[in-house]
Structure 1
Amino acid sequence: MANYTAADVKKLRELTGVGMMDCKNALVESDGDVDKAIEALRIKGQKGVAKREGRSAENGAVASIISDDNTSGVIVELKCETDFVAKGEKFQAVTNQLAAHIAATSPADVEALLASEIEPGKTVQAFVDEANANLGEKIVLDRFAQFTGGYVSAYMHRTMPDLPFQIGVLVELDKENAEVARGVAQHIAAFAPKWLSKEDVPADVVESERRVAEEVTRAEGKPEAALPKIVEGRVNGFFRDNTLLGQDYALDNKKSVQKVLDEAGVTLVRFSRIKVGI
């Protein structure tokens, strides 16, 4: 006879997030002792962590936390191997717990985050490794953003109805305007600008774009005298396409994002966009 019940299996699955067959096997090996089964699964899971290091983690979730007064906010991405795990309550609970920890501790960077204690005697790195072991997939934490100081808002987007949030956008305005903050965050989610303004585009990128524009223009046989104006126009087109303030606003393409902000009397201080796996 089995030395465990269906209730034991259910309890073990809820405590560990491990699959049914692994839970049954662990209970058999532990003679029905749930605590020993948990220990056995953790040991087995930790042994598998190193084996999973070479795997690709391109699925996952983004979570956010915004303070009640909108003066600070966080978005964090946690990656896993499959959408099956990403959909699970355990994985999403881990993601949300990490977001709450970041909001509470304000780590300087990912390295500082991973070294910080999320529970007494347990670092975030150990916490993530534990999730790796329990869920049986490679779990990766390597990106987050946190803004404080101005008016902070977030927009979260699902790419599929049955998936957790896959895109998270964090924006900071210099003054309160919930409508503009949400609208601009939605725009960022959809159009994925690389930089805030043309002044933020690295000089080497601008030079590369200018060089390509000149070569293309010459190849088209344009008159030599017209080259500077055509090249400058193409470089400005690059700025319009890739900088947030230069893009046509998603909710009113007759206006640029800059114009929308100007009309509202607010300044966008900074933004961060995270899309799972990208």
Structure 2
Amino acid sequence: MAEITASQVKELRERTGAGMMECKKALTENDGNIEAAADWLRKTGLAKADKKSSRVAAEGRIAMAQQAHKAVLVEINSETDFVAKDENFVKFTDEVAQTALNGDAQDVEALKSTKTSYGPTVDEARQWLVAKVGENVQVRRMAKLESENTIGAYVHGGRIGVLVEVKGGNAELARGLAMHIAAMNPPYISPAHVPADFVAREKEIAMAQVKDSGKPVEILEKMISGKVAKTVSEITLTGQPYVLDTNQTVEAALKAAGGAQVLNFVRLAVGEGIEKQADDFAAEVMKQAGLA
């Protein structure tokens, strides 16, 4: 059997990103052949990834990449917040975001088969990361905006990411709007975007609230209109107080910027929509101790 040298281990680590002990084992298993060892790591990494793929991954990170008139967000999940902060995980998420920005992939499935800057595809790199961190890791979502208009992009703490397309205004305004959307999470851009059935339902609720007030019909109609308008303002971007200047609404801030318009936005938050497993810690301890 060939003697495994430190330089071989170093080369294999640089090529695959696997841990030192895993690289040494791979070289030992393959008689010092680096190419064969790299393939062996890929195969074993896939096996480990398959075993962990059923475990819930609801933590993770939102990564962003941006240049000129395009920007992208990717959500990549891990099982724990601890791994989400791991240097290897952070590097992987940044690489995936940059790969998405540079490539033609328009959805996650296409992104997974796209090659990263250092050779392997995104999914191959994910499998190696699973082997390294020991947790299920999934590339879950991707959002991409390309436009000749201004694109604002913002990520808050790696947990919430926003892209917003603004016609008019400038980059500072677009980023400010992205920060607002991250903080306030408005479902709609403006009253024109609020579904008619939602407005109708709010009118019914408002009528039920004031019908026994004894006030004249014309006063009741104004009260109902006011209640509905207040609710609509609360759920629309343009109607909300602007987080960077709460003395004015977002609509007023857009008007002050020469009549700028928000055309589109997307907001991703880590783990939203994933049903997290509620572990009973006490029961798990008892099980491990053989008491349950």
Q: Give the TM-score, by structure 2 length.
A: 0.73
- In the TM superposition, 1:143-162 aligns within 5 A as 143-158=142-157
Matched, 1:202 2:201: no
Equivalent of 2:261 in 267, 270, 277: 267
CA distance in structure 1 between the partners assigned to 2:23 and 2:251 by the alignment: 56
User: Secondary structure of the residue that 2:99 maps to in structure 1?
Assistant: helix
User: Secondary structure of the residue that 2:168 maps to in structure 1?
Assistant: coil
CA distance in structure 2 between the partners assigned to 1:167 and 1:176 by the alignment: 24
Q: 1:4 to 1:118 in 2, by over 3 A?
A: closer
Could you say which residue in structure 2 is the equivalent of 1:162?
none
Further displaced range: 50-59 or 262-271: 50-59
Could you say which residue in structure 1 is the equivalent of 2:135?
137
Equivalent of 1:237 in 221, 230, 239: 230
CA deviations on 1:61-111 (whole Å, 9 max, x unpaired) are 1222221xx322222211111222222232222222222222223433334
Could you say which residue in structure 2 is the equivalent of 1:107?
105
Q: 1:33 to 1:122 in 2, by over 3 A?
A: closer
Q: 1:176 to 1:251 in 2, by over 3 A?
A: closer
- In the TM superposition, 1:1-278 aligns within 5 A as 38-67=38-67, 70-114=68-112, 116=114, 124-141=122-139, 142-158=141-157, 165-215=158-208, 217=209, 221-223=212-214, 225=217, 228-265=221-258, 266-278=260-272
| Letter in structure 2 aligned against 1:76 | V
Q: CA RMSD in A?
A: 3.6
CA distance in structure 2 between the partners assigned to 1:145 and 1:132 by the alignment: 26
Q: State the percentage of identical aligned residues.
A: 38
CA distance in structure 2 between the partners assigned to 1:128 and 1:209 by the alignment: 46
Q: Which has the larger radius of gyration?
A: 2
CA distance in structure 1 between the partners assigned to 2:97 and 2:29 by the alignment: 36
Count of residue correspondences: 267
Is 1:80–1:139's contact at 8 Å kept on the other side of the alignment?
yes
User: Secondary structure of the residue that 1:238 maps to in structure 2?
Assistant: helix
Q: 1:275 to 1:7 in 2, by over 3 A?
A: farther
CA distance in structure 2 between the partners assigned to 1:234 and 1:16 by the alignment: 60
Q: 1:51 to 1:145 in 2, by over 3 A?
A: same
CA distance in structure 2 between the partners assigned to 1:254 and 1:7 by the alignment: 63
Q: Give the TM-score, by structure 1 length.
A: 0.76
CA distance in structure 2 between the partners assigned to 1:185 and 1:212 by the alignment: 32
Deviation at 1:213, TM superposition (A): 4.3
Is 2:150–2:166's contact at 8 Å kept on the other side of the alignment?
yes
CA distance in structure 2 between the partners assigned to 1:223 and 1:130 by the alignment: 70
Further displaced range: 52-61 or 246-255: 52-61
Deviation at 1:173, TM superposition (A): 1.5
Q: 1:23 to 1:199 in 2, by over 3 A?
A: same
Deviation at 1:132, TM superposition (A): 3.7
CA distance in structure 2 between the partners assigned to 1:16 and 1:116 by the alignment: 17
User: Secondary structure of the residue that 2:238 maps to in structure 1?
Assistant: helix
Is 2:19–2:132's contact at 8 Å kept on the other side of the alignment?
no
Deviation at 1:42, TM superposition (A): 3.2
Is 2:169–2:257's contact at 8 Å kept on the other side of the alignment?
no
Q: 1:124 to 1:222 in 2, by over 3 A?
A: farther
Is 2:106–2:144's contact at 8 Å kept on the other side of the alignment?
no
CA distance in structure 1 between the partners assigned to 2:19 and 2:213 by the alignment: 65
